[in-house]
Structure 1
Amino acid sequence: MCGIWALFGSEDDVSSQCNAVHKITHRGPDAFRIENINHFRNCCLGFHRLAIVDDIKGMQPMRLYTYPHLYLIYNGEIYNHELLEKDFDLNTSTTCDGEPIIHLYAKLGAEMAASQLDGVFAFCILDTANRKVILGRDTFGVRPMFKLYDEATGFLAVCSEAKGLFGLSHSLNDAKASIEPLLPGHVEVYDLDQDGKARFMERKRFHKIGDLPKYRTLAPPVGDEVLANIRNLFEAAVKKRLMSERRIGCLLSGGLDSSLVTALLVKDAKEQKLPYPIQTFAIGMEGSPDLQAAKTVANYLGTDHHEVVFTPEEGVRAIEDVIYHLESYDITTIRASVGMYLISQYISKKTDTVVILSGEGSDELAQGYIYFHKAPSSEEGDRESRRLLEDLYMYDVLRGDRTTSAAGLEIRVPFLDHLFTSYYLSIAPEQRKPIKGIEKYLLRSAFSDTGLLPNDILWRPKEAFSDGVSSKTKSWFSVIQDHCDQQVNEDELEQAATLYPFNTPKTKEAYYYRKIFESRFPNKSKWIPYFWMPKWCETSDPSARTLKHYK
């Protein structure tokens, strides 16, 4: 996890604007560099580093003797970097996984270079010889990137988080200022004129969700047996994510997704003889089902398990910080983020684990949400699954990135491995839907009888993250709603449509979140195009506990 920041074509004093880069210091607590580019007026690149690979030569902006005209800043992990070196005969000079980005761009151009990368990434290349800026982001948007572009003035700035773009230009006082995310799976190219002004040239999509990757991977070849393929490809997805010179651990809720990831991580760690036991981390209020299930899994796998119990008061106090880091006012995203934020703070302060594996992406890919039981047909379920995957970067993926990066940690999500997801989506829709009243039946079946997990965990019914952390006596979302009842009065809620015409909050909880969001990010409500809600269900609340199928 790192933080990248760049500015091009500013008419203001660049040295004063560079202070904005420190708004993302939390993403890279190990080192910092900011660099003005010689002979390029009003051009600056900034980088906050979390050192994971090649501690000596991994600082950015990165330049190579072979291509001195190229500058690279990136946040990500390129898992096939060694294969790329062999396949394209790259003369690399570091062990940094991101160095091949420079070589591939020089040899293949922006779109082809991005299409060869097996991993997660957000990068910015400055090509001084051709006066171009190239931006790229991975297929699911696991690594974030925001851009501020003013076509009229030629001002362009990019940052890992939107907060690092506020205050850079007078145009930001205008409600129409264009701060928006770079679309996942896309590259964008800008030309720079002699004054350093940027002009948008093209946007191209190099990967579509569901398409097979164009690069060679270390995963075993796909055979005829579906369950074996799911098992082999997912095991490969976890294994490649052990690439690290820092300690690796795992978030463990005790549900299917995090338990599978943990079991395979422990297995791989033993095979690779990592010099430390795998640490697992669970969080919940007193007596929560997640804490109980996570302990069962940890005992079964023999992990160094850490259990964090938070009080309702601690959870409520964290909400404002959570919204600031999320840059979102979505109800279910905020509810689920509080526990993840608190446990990330614990990991950072109490342990030396830095890289965290997690189970994000499985519910969208494998139709794990409880409302998928209500899908009118398997084809409708397939369409909804693909829609969720397209929008993940604004919801669950955003939650995973921001809550962990706020504590200087790096999250890795094997369920969103490009090869694994493309294969899983190629399986017939009727096999991927809930079967026999059990969501993710196909995924569970693939690991049945392997001994990786106890059967009661492997077949444990779905528990939404914000629900799983709840105590037995009172749910987490009820705690929040009680708090919001005291913070928002009826008169305010009645005026909500006037004050917030886009995504108008319908409840006191939604109003409370929106009010905090607007105080930090005024006029940016369209970052979230809609509230995440279950489909095909009559409910006004996103909590799974409100659905009839909930077990």
Structure 2
Amino acid sequence: MCGIWAIFGSDDDVSKQCASALRIGHRGPDCFRLENINHFKNCCFGFHRLAIVGDTYGMQPMRVHRYPQIWLCYNGEIYNYRRVAEQFGFNYETDCDGEAIISLYMHGGIEFAAKHLDGVFAFILLDTQQKRVYLGRDTYGVRPMFRLLKDDGFLAVCSEAKGLMGLSHGHDDHEVNIDPFPPGHFETYDLSPNGKVTLKECARFHKIGDMPKYDALVKPLDENDHYANIRALLEGAVKKRLIGGRRIGCLLSGGLDSSLISALLLKHAKKSGIIYPVQTYAIGMEGSPDVEAARTVAKYIGSEHHEVSFTPEEGIQAIEDVIYSLESYDITTIRASVGMYLVSQYIRTKTDSVVIFSGEGSDELAQGYIYFNKAPSAEEADVESRRLLGDLYMYDVLRGDRTTSAHGLELRVPFLDHMFTGYYLSLPPEVRRSKDGIEKYTLRKAFDGTGLLPDEILWRPKEAFSDGVSSVKKSWYETLQEYVEEQINDQMMEDAPKTFPFNPPRTKEAYYFRQIFEKHFPSKSRWIPYYWMPRWSQTNDPSARTLKHYKDSS
């Protein structure tokens, strides 16, 4: 996890504007660099580093002797950097995975480079010879990037939107557009001598569900056995993410997704040369079903397990910090983020793990949300699954990135591996839908009988993270309802459509979150185009515990 920041064509004092880069220092606590660009007026790169791969040459902006005209700033991991070197005959000068971006770009251009990257990334590449600036982001937006582009040719880019606030050239922040860069896209800008940019091209390089074009590390084994292929590709996704020199751990809620990733991580850690005990982390309130289930998994797989407990008061106290970190006011995202934020804080302060695996992406890919049981058809469930995957960067992926990076950790999400998602979505819709009321049936069945997990965990019903951390007797969402009832009055709710015309809050909890969001990010509500809610269900609250299916299964 790192923090990238850059400006091109500033009319103001660059040294003053660079102070904005310090707002994302949490993303890279190891070191920080600011560097002006030669021969281009008022252009600057900023980089906060969390050292994972390439300790010697890992500082950015990256430049190599062979291509001195190329400047690269990126946040991410390129898992196939050695593979593409073999495939195309590259001779790297550094031990950094990011050098693959430079080499691929010089070999075939920016679209060629993006299509051949197996990994997660957000990058800014400057070619001073061609006078071009390129931006790119991975397919699911696992690594974040925002950009501010003004009509006068000023461009600013940052890992988080907060690093762009105040760069509006004498205008209020609400008068300029700071937007999330779209996942799976690249943009090309022409660069003038005064550093101003002109947008030349915006194109998608990889669509949701498309099989990748690059020479893959792991491929399907048997076209007639999708269970074997699911196992092989998910194991491959975990193994390729073991790169780096920092200690690795895993979030473990005791649900299917995190349990599968934890078990596969433990299985392959020793094989990859990891000699330290892999740590797993569970968090919950007193009586949390997640903590109990996670304890069962940890004992079964043999991890060095940590349990973190928090009170309702501690959860409520963390809400403002969570919203500032998230840059979101979405109800579901905030609820689920509190526990993840607090466990990440524990990991950073109480352990030496830095790279953290988790199960994000499985619910969207494998149709794990309980409401998928009510899908009218397999085809409609498939459409919904793809929609969720396309919007992940605004919800669960955003949650995973911001809650961990707020504490200088790097998150890795094997379920969003390109080969795995591409293969899984290539299966017929009927194969991927819920079966007999069991969500993620195909994923569960793929590991049935392997001994990887106890059956009670492999077939454990879905429990939303924000509910699973709660006591069975009283959910986290109920605690929040009681608190916000005292904070927001009826008159505020009556005036809500006028106070917040876009996405007006319909509940007191939503109003409370929105107030905090607007305090830090005024007039930026369009970052979240809609509130996440289950489909095909008669409910006004996204908590799984309000759904009839959940109540029946409990």
Identify whether the pair has TM-score above 0.5, normalized to the shorter chain: yes
Q: Deviations over 1:385-441 (max 9, x none)?
A: 000000000000000000000000000000000010010001111111110110000
SS in 2 for 1:70: strand
Superposition deviation, residue 340 in structure 1: 0.2
* 2:120 paired residue number: 120
1:218 aligns with 2:223: no
Q: Check 1:172–1:347 CA distance in 2 against 1; reply closer, same or farther (3 A cut).
A: farther
What residue is the counterpart of 1:228 in the other structure?
Answer: 228
* Aligned equivalents of 1:129, 1:397: Cα separation in 2: 36
Given that residues 481 and 509 in structure 2 are in contact (C-alpha distance below 8 angstroms), is that contact kept between their aligned partners in structure 1?
A: yes
CA distance in 2: counterparts of 1:533 and 1:134, whole angstroms: 35
Contact between 1:333 and 1:396, CA under 8 Å: does it hold in 2?
Answer: yes
- Deviation string 1:220-250 (CA, Å, 9 cap, x unpaired) is 4441211000010011001101111000000
Structure 2 runs not aligned, ≥5 long: none
The answer to whether the 8 Å contact 1:134/1:188 transfers is yes
Q: Is the 8 A contact 2:165 2:173 kept in 1?
A: no
Give the 3-state SS of the residue equivalent to 1:420 in structure 2: helix
Which aligned pairs between 1:515-530 and structure 2 lie closer than 5 A?
Answer: 515-530=515-530
1:523-538, aligned counterparts within 5 Å?
523-538=523-538
Aligned to 1:164: 163
Q: Partners in 1 of 2:173 and 2:85 — Cα distance? A: 46
Contact 2:367 2:434 in 1 (8 A): yes
Question: What is the match of residue 312 of structure 1?
Answer: 312
Instruction: Give the match's secondary structure for 2:111.
Output: helix
CA contact (8 A) 1:30 1:48 kept: yes
Change (3 A) 1:351 1:213: same
Partner of 1:103: 103
Matched, 1:20 2:49: no
**Cα deviation, residue 56, structure 1:** 1.1
Q: CA deviation at 1:174?
A: 5.4
Identity %: 67
Cα distance in 1 for residues equivalent to 2:173 and 2:341:
32
Task: Write out per-residue CA displacement over residues 478-527 of structure 1, whole angstroms, 9 at most, x where no aligned residue.
Answer: 11111111111111111100010110100000000000000000000000
In the alignment, what sits opposite 1:433? 433
Q: Secondary structure at the match of 1:175?
A: helix
Give the structure 2 partner of residue 271 of structure 1.
Answer: 271
User: Hey, what does 1:255 align to over in structure 2?
Assistant: 255
How far apart, CA to CA, are the structure 2 residues paired with 1:240 and 1:172? 46
Measured after TM superposition, the shift of residue 272 of structure 1 is 2.1
Q: Give the stretch that moved more between structures: 186-195 or 291-300.
A: 186-195
Please report the TM-score for the alignment, with normalisation by the length of structure 1.
Answer: 0.99
Deviations 1:270-315 (CA, angstroms, capped at 9, x unpaired): 2223120010000000010000000000000111000001000000
Measured after TM superposition, the shift of residue 20 of structure 1 is 0.3
* Residue number in structure 2 paired with 1:355: 355
Instruction: Give 1:92's aligned residue.
Output: 92
- TM-score, structure 2 as length reference: 0.98
Instruction: Quote how far apart the aligned CAs of 1:175 are.
Output: 2.7
Aligned to 2:514: 514
Asked if the contact 1:326/1:398 (under 8 Å) is kept, the reply is yes
Instruction: Indicate conservation of the 8 Å contact 1:166/1:172, yes or no.
Output: no
Residues of 2 paired with 1:197 and 1:406: CA distance? 32
Structure 1 unmatched runs, 5+: none
For the 8 Å contact 1:171–1:177, the answer to whether it is kept is: no
What secondary structure sits across from 2:420 in the alignment?
Answer: helix
Aligned match of 1:468: 468
Q: 5 Å matches for 1:93-492?
A: 93-151=93-151, 153-170=152-169, 172-173=171-172, 175-223=174-222, 224-492=224-492
SS at match of 1:121: strand
8 A Cα contact 2:141 2:184, kept in partner = yes
**1:23-62 CA deviation, whole Å, 9 max, x = no partner?**
0000000011000112110000000000001111111110
